Chains A and B, each alone.
Chain A
Amino acid sequence: MSHRLGTGGRLIDRARPMDFTFNGKSMRGYAGDSLGAALLGAGQVLVGRSFKYHRPRGIVASGAEEPNALVGLGEGQRFEPNQRVTTTELFSGLKAVSQNHWPSLEFDVGAVNAKLWRFFPAGFYYKTFISPRPLWKHVYEPIIRRSAGLGKAPDAETRDADRYEQLYAYCDVIVAGGGVAGLKAARQAADEGKRVILTEQNPHFGGRAVVDGIEVEGQAAEDWVKAQVAALQAMPNVTVLDRTMVSGVYDHGYVLAYQRVADHTPGAEKPRHRLWRVRAGQVISATGAIERPLSFAGNDIPGVMLASAIRDFVVNYAVSPGKKVAIVTNNDDAYRTALALHAVGVTVPAVIDARKEVTGDLPAKARAAGIRVIEDCAVRYVEGGKSVTGVQLCRFNSDGGAVIETLACDALGMSGGWSPVVHLWSHCGGKLTWDEGRALFRPDANRPPLGHDGQGFVTCVGASNGEFDDEGEAAMLPVWLMPAQASYELRAKAWLDPQNDVKVSDVQLAAKEGYASVEHTKRYTTLGMATDQGKLSNINGLAILSDALGQPIPQTGTTTFRPPYTPISIGAIGGEARGGIFQPLRKTPIYDWHMAQGAYWEPVGHWRRPYCYPKTGETHGDAVKREINQVRKSVGLLDASTLGKIIVKGPDAGRFMDMLYTNMMSNLKVGKCRYGLMCNENGFLSDDGVVARLSEDTFLCHTTSGGADRIHGWMEDWLQCEWWDWKVHVVNLTEQYAQIAVVGPNARKVIEKVGADFDLSAESFPFMDWKEGKIGGIEARAFRISFSGELSYEIAVPASKGQAFWDKLMAAGAEFGVMPYGTEALHVMRAEKGFIMIGDETDGTVIPQDLGLNWAISKKKEDFLGKRGMEREAMVSPDRWQLVGLETLDGSVLPDGALAPLPGKNDNGQQETQGRVTSTYFSPTLGKGIAMGIVHNGPKRMGEVIQFQSAAGGTVAARIVDPCFYDKAGEKQNV
């Protein structure tokens, strides 16, 4: 049965029909329709099932506040659940499916829940499912998972086919809402020369004025709006955005606006959504008001709608929800709907008005048009199941026991008054005040949200500010329950929040059970917690709560308004940050070469470093083993460019270095290198690396790859904020150099073959020295330092020469079988040598003394960062866990992080432990598993065998040994 009227519809184009499907059934609407209008026009009153009881549900509203009519839109990569039909523009080929039912919308098994409503009271999740615990996993959770959650999540294997973008914008004024109040505010600001952004969430401007057909400044609203929009669009200082909702107002005038660029043209070469990240001087909220439903039994039956929504559908789309539409109200505004229906030939059997006497101009017009007005009357009960068949009436001031009349109708419009949309005012802390006369919360102009200058930065105008154009209208009568003393049976069928299935009786029960705070009641009953965030339900719910608590409404207060105003897509939040540009990637100058070699990558901060270079048929383990053997036997190359390189320069550089490092650096000779440790003020290890003194007043600090930026910031902090009179300057040169480690017994021969203009012999260039000169014609700085225990030169060249230098080393090394090696080989070789690694042996609670690094802590220095922290009782305790080497008796590799359990429990009731593994590898050099770990009193327990957790779940025996497994005397590196 079509509900499309023969004429009218200001937004639709009857010359352009559009075909779409709903649950696979073909339907037809018109260009300009919302999906809701098209469904209703096609006679589809039942559009979904409710969340908890699977009650049949229809469209209630005409805009963003719609609680019921949510559908799954699109298919495959474009499937999206929970889309409001009232804000979805119709397009040809649209595919929608209804939600929350099984097996079908018409016949739903879950609706049996509704028959069991007595067993699903407020807080039923908490009450029913808490115990017994074991039932959770096997019974409750699977049931809840199947029935809970609105809609269906998209298939995890699909990828969103659309693109999304974000845009930064700055303005003096952003106006949210393109109704009359918003247009006026935007025009005024624009005329003052301000930079203005005007947003309207719908595709059309004008708000309610164009529907109600009022006059604005002596002009018909439709014409006035058209002229204003055109004028604003023509102004260079104004940006006019339709289909754009201000979703949130944040600190200091930060505003997010969500533009639905191409929802209505899927597949178009446009971003689907655009998120505007706006910094606004002033925010003007012209967001209007939302009509309130009335709470009476059966107010959720399909065909019961907001009176204003019915008016919208009739005027905008020429769609009526029925042929005989009754109206129930507590105010004059709803009479506009009666008149609008009457004007297009829809029968209005009566306007049911809760007020004792109805006197306003609009009711007079309705009466003059022959519409029956029933005073002091309430809807007692709505008859019908999947659609309205009639309404039972009773006296408003009664318990509903006596039916005075049953009115036949196929739809019912309801109006409980209006609530200003104060969300944008409230997001950032604007306070509300209760307007007794109109029974509504509106912004308290004396308590606005404050900006950085301490001044209010949000202003509400029009209905959003509680200002209504209601001259000639009689006062409304606050009605929170209908009839006023409705019996329990009626209250248990009177819905407050249809999306989450919360009824008047649920809130009353919560109050009875002691939930006196509105925030607690909300969570206990789930009132207002659905995707509509209670736009329709909150005010009625808190009025019921206030009544149950015997206190005035303002004393109960509102729940917190949080952004977004309506849900925005995850795609828009992510914007372009997906796939390859999810985050910036740092590449060394030799990155492309590694890539061409088929490197297996390891992320190190934002860097990518080769973990190893597997050859065809090799596992990663095979490759690591081969790389290590090659380095130990002959020579290998490591791209060490990610190593942090920070220059510390100035007359006070030595003094500063002595504060940064635990050991003495100021006495380092020019031309020499020294390993050093940095701690935070707690004394915990923070970073380590080799320092080279480049000149009397210049030090080069090598930091860990992941630590360069942090350590640079740390140095700046101390220089700027504590020792600002010290003459020192620091520069992070990490990316200015490519650094290549040439490592292995043949390292010197390779460099000699490339050709250096300085003497490479051990006598003139010994271990822990550095030299500058040209190697292979490229200016280079070579450091004789070793992280592998082999003869090693780390050579820094300008980043731009990195690849060329690498190529020369590869060519010269060919006769020695030179190979690149990756981070894993690096790690294994340093573990073989017992060298610590920041992040493996340290975890933010380890002091150098724990790692046997006392030799690197100066006893002469009066002060250095962390010195005072190390003096604390717990840091000098003999009971600290300390670094040792570990060897399993069976040669196996210990699991990383494995604990060494002890019998008994600690004070927290946890298993006692006496140590843990910090680094563990298979050593190709030794042919067995080796590990480092920290163990209680470890260094004093050499040779002792203790148990560690094994990967299989039991324990494995390991002997405590020296952490240096390879060339303890250091003969190999010092040649």
Chain B
Amino acid sequence: MLLLTCPCCGVSAEETEFTNGGEAHLKRFGPGSSDADYEAYMFARKNPRGVHFERWRHAYGCGKWFLMARDTMTLEVYGAYKAQTTEPPADIQAKIKARRPEWEGYK
């Protein structure tokens, strides 16, 4: 059971106090978008063995959604950040790069 820290309220709590919302940094494609864009938005997921950006909600706490960079293999948490952004903060990206030099970036 993961130990997660909410970047919105600062509480560290058991995984069961949070709900997972799947991959982060997806771009929404609505009406008028191509089939390929819509498919990428709805169905194509990276599901990496390694560095992963994901959405979490502090459902049984402050209720806020946030984003997190985590290693799906080692379970190391590189950092959590607020959801109101389109890309991971530079310091977290730098930290990942230092820990996993082979990492190719969040895109």
Contacts and interface: CB of A to CB of B under 8 A. Distances in A.
Nearest to A681: B42
B44 interface: no
B105 interface: no
A250 B15 CA distance: 12
Q: How large is the interface on A (under 10, 10 to 19, 20 to 34, 35 or more residues)?
A: 20 to 34
Contacts of A717: 21, 57, 65
Contacts of B75: 251-252, 450-452
A709 B69 CA distance: 27
A250 B16 CA distance: 14
Contact of A716 (B3, B15, B41, B63): B63
Nearest to B35: A872
Contact of B1 (A252, A429, A454, A868): A252
B31 interface: yes
A721 B83 contact: yes
Contact of A452 (B29, B32, B63, B76): B76
Nearest to B71: A454
Nearest to A680: B42
A452 B84 contact: no
Contact of A454 (B2, B33, B74): B74
Nearest to A450: B74
Contact of A450 (B1, B28, B31, B76): B76
Contacts of B84: 720-721, 724
Interface in B18-35: 19, 21, 28-33, 35
A253 interface: yes
A868 B14 CA distance: 37
Contacts, number: 75
A722 interface: yes
A862 interface: yes
A722 B3 contact: no
A702 interface: no
Contacts of B77: 452-453
A473 interface: no
A37 B101 CA distance: 58
B52 interface: no
B107 interface: no
A867 interface: yes
A452 B65 contact: no
B46 interface: no
Contacts of A720: 64-65, 83-84
Q: Which of A681, A717, A720, A872 has the most CB of B within 10 A?
A: A720
A717 B99 CA distance: 31
A149 B13 CA distance: 40
Contact of B42 (A253, A451, A682, A862): A682
For the complex of A and B, list the 7 residue pairs with the smallest distance between their C-beta atoms, beginning with the closest.
A454-B76, A252-B3, A724-B84, A720-B65, A254-B1, A452-B77, A450-B74
Given A452-B3, A453-B77, A867-B30, 17 more contacts: A250-B1, A251-B15, A252-B1, A429-B74, A451-B75, A454-B76, A681-B41, A713-B19, A716-B57, A716-B63, A717-B57, A720-B83, A721-B84, A722-B28, A724-B83, A862-B31, A868-B31
Interface of A: 250-254, 279, 429, 450-454, 681-682, 713, 716-717, 720-722, 724, 862-863, 867-869, 871-872
28 contacts: A250-B1, A251-B2, A251-B15, A252-B2, A252-B75, A279-B3, A279-B14, A450-B74, A450-B75, A451-B75, A451-B76, A452-B3, A453-B76, A453-B77, A454-B71, A713-B57, A717-B65, A720-B64, A720-B83, A721-B55, A721-B65, A722-B28, A724-B83, A724-B84, A863-B30, A868-B33, A868-B38, A872-B38
